[in-house]
């Protein structure tokens, strides 16, 4: 198992998820780049978003993922998140049918009720992946898809950079970050019962360099990954 501390080049003070996102909430939307997640989701062959009738948006945050799903024709989206301030933003955004404060590993949502389970940019906050994939399986209807958009382990290792934000006082603060190899995802997903349907990696390309010119040194490095799973019992 890889440990972020072996790769950390920043040494930022680290806080837990709810403390971190509770402080990041005001600036979160200005700092997360759509090219990290939404651009990779755009490239997927499946799922056929407009055919999804009910999605569980795990780690829904301020509702960025939910808003994108709705814009792609997903009929109904329920969201779960640990951080009250992030949920408050999602509530104000109004794209979710239901929002629940809770943990993605024990969401409290209805079993077998979703034809899509999606989690974007949360895997690095989970110490272990299997409980996530198990809960996604519990929520999924037969034939449902599970999409996980991950912070790429290669990028975390090569950059030595945790998930972090700049506080109101100007201090860079890290949020507890775990490194999951892509094989950790594959193993956890398969053991939970999922069948891998598709996988894509987002690399630092011209779109990235247009928003982050300082990342020229990372040109061509994979920075995010999407895994698409299908429930076939």
Ligand X SMILES: C[S@@+](CC[C@H](N)C(=O)[O-])C[C@H]1O[C@@H](n2cnc3c(N)ncnc32)[C@H](O)[C@@H]1O
**By the criterion CB under 6 A, which residues form the site for ligand X?**
17, 21, 32, 37, 59-61, 64-65, 80-83, 86, 103-105, 120-122, 125-126
What are the tokens at 209? 């360099």
Please answer whether residues 127 and 178 qualify as being in contact, where contact means their C-beta atoms are separated by less than 8 angstroms.
yes
Task: Report helix angle 182-192 to 130-139, nearest 10.
Answer: 40
Nearest distance in Å: CB 154, ligand X: 18
Q: Is 168 left (phi over 0), alpha (psi -120 to 50) or beta?
A: alpha
Nearest distance in Å: CB 142, ligand X: 25
Residue 121 or 136 having the CB closest to ligand X: 121
Residue 172 phi, psi dihedral angles, 5° rounding: -75, 130
Residue 55 or 144 having the CB closest to ligand X: 55
Nearest distance in Å: CB 227, ligand X: 15
Nearest distance in Å: CB 132, ligand X: 8
Residue 97 or 216 having the CB closest to ligand X: 97
Residue 142 or 167 having the CB closest to ligand X: 167
156 CB-near residues (< 8 Å, 6+ apart): 4, 7, 124, 162, 177, 179
How do 222-230 and 140-151 pair as beta strands?
A: antiparallel
Nearest distance in Å: CB 233, ligand X: 26
Nearest distance in Å: CB 10, ligand X: 17
Residue 94 or 143 having the CB closest to ligand X: 94
Residue 158 phi, psi dihedral angles, 5° rounding: -70, -35
Rounded distance between C-alpha atoms, residue 8 and residue 78, angstroms: 35
Residue 131 or 222 having the CB closest to ligand X: 131
Residue 84 or 143 having the CB closest to ligand X: 84
Q: Is the torsion defined by CA of 189, 29, 80, 168 positive or negative?
A: positive
ω into residue 107 within 30 of 0, thus cis?
A: no
Nearest distance in Å: CB 232, ligand X: 26
Rounded distance between C-alpha atoms, residue 78 and residue 57, angstroms: 6
């Amino acid at each position: 198992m890889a440990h972020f501390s072996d790769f950390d080049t920043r040494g930022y003070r680290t806080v837990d998820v709810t403390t971190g996102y509770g402080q990041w909430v005001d600036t979160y939307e200005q700092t997360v780049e759509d090219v990290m997640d939404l651009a990779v989701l755009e490239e997927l062959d499946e799922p056929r978003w407009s055919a999804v009738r009910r999605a569980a948006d795990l780690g829904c945050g301020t509702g960025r993922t939910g808003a994108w799903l709705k814009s792609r024709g997903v009929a109904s989206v329920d969201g779960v998140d640990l951080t009250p301030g992030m949920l408050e933003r999602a509530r104000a955004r109004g794209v979710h049918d239901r929002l629940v404060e809770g943990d993605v590993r024990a969401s409290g949502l209805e079993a077998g009720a979703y034809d899509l389970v999606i989690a974007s940019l949360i895997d690095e906050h989970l110490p272990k992946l299997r409980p996530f994939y198990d809960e996604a399986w519990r929520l999924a209807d037969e034939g449902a898809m599970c999409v996980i958009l991950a912070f790429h382990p290669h990028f975390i290792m090569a950059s030595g950079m945790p998930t972090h934000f700049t506080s109101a006082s100007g201090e860079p603060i890290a949020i507890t970050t775990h490194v999951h190899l892509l094989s950790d995802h594959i193993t956890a997903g398969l053991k939970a019962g999922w069948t891998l349907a598709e996988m894509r990696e987002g690399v630092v390309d011209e779109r990235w360099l247009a928003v982050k010119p300082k990342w020229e040194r990372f040109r061509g490095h994979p920075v995010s990954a999407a895994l698409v799973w299908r429930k076939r019992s």
